[in-house]
Amino acid sequence: MRITIEDAEPGEIAESITEIVSALLESDGVDAAVYLTDSEPMEKALAEDSPAHDFQHQYLADLHRAALSRYAAALADAVSLVEDALA
């Protein structure tokens, strides 16, 4: 999942972050690409075997989603401030 933003206007990146995380949250499970980490074949096996590796438990799933939303908001804020600082 990538968004081309070469021509992005100030503030658009922050919006894009929110959109990406929102898309992750709205999808049923998490994009398999998210599971591809830099360490082990095991993660690749996870991605192959488990394209939508849901949490078993709703309470934990809700916490997880809340954390992602909070982080998305923080990143969006930070990127806006960074863009201002670089303007």
Partner 1 sequence: MIRLRPEALEKVRRLIRDAHIRVAIDLYGVDAVPSSLVEDLLRRRVISKRDVVGPPGMLGGAYSYGVAHGRELVKQPMAHATRPRTFDPSSVSLDSWQQRAADAARERGASLILGLGEAAADGIATAAMTADEFDARQQRAIAGATATAIERREGVGRLRSRLFDTIVQDRARDLDRIAATELTGATNAGISDAIAEVADEGDRVAVLVNPDACKTCVRHYTSGGKPRIFKLAELHPWGANFKVKAANMVTTVPPLHPWCHCTLIYVPAGFGFDDSGALARL
Joined tokens for residue 59: 């309470």
27 interacts with partner 1 by CB under 8 A = no
* Amino acid in position 30: V
26 interacts with partner 1 by CB under 8 A = no
Give the Cα separation of 13 and 57 in Å (integer).
33
* Amino acid in position 42: M
Joined tokens for residue 76: 């969006």
By the criterion CB under 8 A, which residues form the site for partner 1? 2-3, 5-8, 13, 16-17, 20-21, 24, 30, 34-35, 37, 39-43, 45-46, 49-50, 53, 55-60, 62-64, 66-68, 70-72, 74-75, 77-79, 81-83, 85-86
